[in-house]
Amino acid sequence: MSSTFGTLYRVSTFGESHGKAVGAIVDGCPANLQLTEEDIQSQLTRRRPGQSDMTTPRDEADRVTILSGCENGKTLGTPIGLMVNNRDQRPGDYQEMSQVPRPSHADFTYQHKYGNRAASGGGRSSARETIGRVAAGAIAEKWLREQFGTEIVSWVSTVGDIDAPDLSEEILSREDVDGNLIRCPDQSVANQMMDLVATTRDRQDSVGGVLTCVARGVPVGLGEPVFERLEAKLAQAMLSIPATKGFEIGSGFAGSRMFGSAHNDPFQMKKGGRLGTSTNHSGGVQGGISNGEPLVFRIAFKPPATIGQAQQTASFDGEPTVLEAKGRHDPCVVPRAVPIVETMTAMTLMDFVLCQSYRNAGR
């Protein structure tokens, strides 16, 4: 287990899907940040299942409690303990699976690695684990916004084979994104996506998708070459989210098909006397360091592994068997992944800000 992320803004999470509680410790948050539970709750609520038709109706209030690190509404500079109780424990729904590792789940690998695993739900590989990170990252978002005006907005850009147009150059708000249940700011594409999710659910199947994330107002200079280049840590952060299969920044995989003469981002003087680039194939990073242009990246999510359809597979001891998931499950997780992507981005950026303050002795 390696449940800690970050060097100076250090987030450690805990909690299984069906234990007593999940949560996190945030170590390294500067003192004197105004902070209440409400500041954290909004992203937790966006992450929550049961918001709509789109997602699993497990009813969990997911109310966060700040256990430490704040007094009189301000951070103390000490570790912030964050806890969300688990209330909806229905292990019965899952019990049948225990002799058969669920295909494309973590049952097999956890059992092999640990010789034990949570008997019900996904244990640490469950989406519920992400509560701790979202809470911890929500604090980072607030700090970045107050210090630098940083705005991080993610949305669903693909579901199955339905693609939204490229919206990365438009300045979108979270309200734009939350305008529909699928969290795609293009309403007509969103309708198609929601239709696809509905028919997928009716077939007791699941479907994958892609999120785009844009961060504006990122200070120039973030990222620590060589091994902690900004894009490298963002890639780690994103691929640490359950169900992710890919990450690309700026031109990404499409950029690998381009020629340098078209791909290079020329410099030009921009509004406010800032030297910037006229295109942004780089996606906001050059040499592993933020260059002041918006960070633009995309994350691929596989279709959820839990499906109601019968699946031919084998038990732990190799016996062929047919598996049918009971319970109700998300046919498409990408809308709920939006706050997870945003908060993981925030904690990555904040850690780099804290780490880089003295890079230039001449200042």
Considering only residues 151 to 190 of the shown chain, the ones binding a copy of itself according to CB under 8 A are: 158, 160-161
Interface positions, 28-47, toward a copy of itself (CB under 8 A): 28, 30-33
The count of chain residues that interact with a copy of itself, using the rule CB under 8 A, is: 164
Q: List the one residue from 38, 256, 271, 272 that touches a copy of itself (CB under 8 A).
A: 256
List C-alpha distances in Å: 255 to 116, 201, 281, 282, 321: 43, 35, 8, 9, 44
Q: List the one residue from 73, 149, 287, 327 that touches a copy of itself (CB under 8 A).
A: 287
Stretch binding a copy of itself (CB under 8 A), from 37-45, 175-183, 316-324, 335-343: 316-324
Q: What angle do CA 255, 261, 266 make, to 5 degrees?
A: 95
Stretch binding a copy of itself (CB under 8 A), from 2-10, 48-56, 168-176, 185-193: 2-10
| DSSP 8-state class, residue 208 | -
* Contact between residue 87 and residue 58 where contact means Cβ atoms under 8 Å apart: no
- Report, in Å, the least distance between residue 342 CB and a copy of itself: 17
| Residue 327 engages a copy of itself in binding (rule: CB under 8 A) | no
Tell me the C-alpha distance between 115 and 147, whole Å. 46
Interface positions, 45-74, toward a copy of itself (CB under 8 A): 65-69, 71-72, 74
DSSP codes joined into one string, 55-112 = S--------EEE-SSEETTEE-SS-EEEEEE-----GGGTGGGGGSPPTTSSHHHHHH
| Residue 227 engages a copy of itself in binding (rule: CB under 8 A) | yes
Distance of CA 363 to the CA centre of its chain: 35
Phi first, then psi: what are they for 2, rounded to 5°?
Answer: -140, 90
Interface positions, 7-26, toward a copy of itself (CB under 8 A): 7-8, 10, 12-16, 19-23, 25
Tell me the C-alpha distance between 188 and 220, whole Å. 36
Q: List the one residue from 39, 151, 186, 224 that touches a copy of itself (CB under 8 A).
A: 224
Interface positions, 74-93, toward a copy of itself (CB under 8 A): 74-81, 83
